[in-house]
């Protein structure tokens, strides 16, 4: 993908719907459903048919308690999926923290590297991105959550001394500075506040979305990935039932995610990363219509 096309991808007229394709055994939402290569390819085609304008392909779960897959397995799954889906006409994003996997995917035609560690787990990823025509999503990262992917989190991994917005912003910008120092051009970078990563509750996630303008003021496009995460379910639980409240169904979480997609789109998100592309596509269409119908200053006068 040439530089002009990449810039058009990074600066869309309306927010992207990034459809999630998990080729994993134990993803928190749909682990094992798309592990078969043909099933994964069909799901990717379905997501595009439902309105996804980017596919985000991952082959390793980052949920708490997940066991890391070996690099060869991750690379094989990713390469197979990219080969099967690169003809769909939408950019392919690769959700990985390994440079070897990122390199293989870029060689096969991927356009975006979505690194949940923001360059912290494999310092070769930023150096690779600096050399290639691709975009790089830098996510806020502290460490694996307790029991997640082979690491045990420090007891302070979810503590934000200056408030979650200020601390996440400062830490994320420090990660971006390191990525820039590795040679990545600013026009390749997209940032992600990392909803759910070292942020277990509603109180640590909702402010990052309501203060999306703070992150946009950095000058970098902002990806929001709230889909089906634990805090989304918590938003829907009946507080009067306390710890006995039933876990909301996936369908209810998808509705809530679509609402968050629309709200974040109105706040200027670059893209929303979702499991149900159709619901968020429709939500973004309504948000765009709302925005177009808002009164201008002249109307107000």
Residues noted as catalytic: 229, 273
Q: Report the first-to-last Cα separation within the chain, whole angstroms.
A: 46
Q: How many whole angstroms separate alpha carbon 111 and alpha carbon 92?
A: 6
Single out the residue of 139, 65, 127 nearest to residue 96, CA to CA: 139
Single out the residue of 94, 130, 128, 123 nearest to residue 109, CA to CA: 94
DSSP helix/strand/coil, 275: coil
Single out the residue of 284, 278, 228, 277 nearest to residue 261, CA to CA: 284
Length in residues, the chain:
301
Q: How many whole angstroms separate alpha carbon 83 and alpha carbon 109?
A: 8
CB 280 within 8 A of CB 258: yes
Long-range contacts of 35-44, Cβ-Cβ distance < 8 Å, separation of 24 or more: 37/77, 37/80, 37/81, 37/84, 40/77, 40/80, 40/81, 40/84, 41/81, 41/84, 41/85, 44/19, 44/81, 44/84, 44/85, 44/88
Instruction: Give the pair of three-digit tokens for residue 90.
Output: 């939408």
Residue 149 gets the label, from left (phi > 0), alpha (psi -120 to 50) or beta, of left
| Cα–Cα distance list, 99 to 30, 68, 69, 145 (Å) | 25, 15, 15, 22
- What are the residues whose beta carbons fall under 8 Å from the beta carbon of 5, sequence distance 6 or more? none
């Amino acid at each position: 993908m040439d530089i002009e096309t990449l810039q058009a991808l990074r600066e869309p007229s309306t927010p992207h719907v990034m459809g999630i394709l998990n080729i994993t055994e134990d993803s928190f939402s749909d682990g094992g459903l798309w592990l078969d290569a043909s099933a994964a390819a069909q799901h990717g085609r379905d997501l595009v048919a439902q309105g996804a304008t980017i596919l985000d392909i991952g082959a390793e779960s980052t949920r708490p308690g997940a066991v890391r897959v070996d690099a060869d397995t991750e690379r094989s799954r990713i390469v197979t999926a990219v080969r099967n889906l690169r003809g769909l006409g939408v950019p392919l994003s690769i959700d990985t923290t390994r440079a070897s996997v990122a390199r293989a995917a870029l060689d096969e035609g991927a356009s975006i590297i979505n690194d949940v560690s923001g360059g912290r787990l494999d310092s070769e990823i930023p150096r690779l991105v600096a050399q290639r025509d691709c975009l790089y999503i830098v996510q806020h990262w502290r460490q694996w959550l307790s029991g997640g992917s082979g690491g045990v989190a420090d007891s302070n991994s979810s503590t934000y001394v200056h408030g979650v917005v200020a601390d996440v912003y400062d830490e994320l910008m420090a990660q971006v500075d390191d990525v820039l120092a590795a040679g990545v051009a600013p026009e390749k970078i997209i940032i992600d506040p990392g909803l759910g990563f070292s942020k277990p509750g509603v109180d640590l996630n909702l402010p990052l979305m309501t203060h999306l303008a703070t992150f946009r003021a950095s000058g970098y496009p902002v990806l929001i990935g709230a889909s089906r995460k634990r805090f989304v379910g918590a938003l829907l639980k009946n507080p009067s039932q306390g710890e006995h409240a039933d876990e909301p169904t996936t369908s209810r979480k998808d509705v809530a995610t679509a609402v968050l997609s629309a709200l974040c789109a109105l706040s200027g998100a670059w893209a929303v990363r979702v499991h149900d592309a159709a619901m968020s596509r429709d939500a973004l269409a309504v948000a765009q219509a709302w925005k177009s119908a808002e009164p201008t200053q002249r109307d107000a006068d």
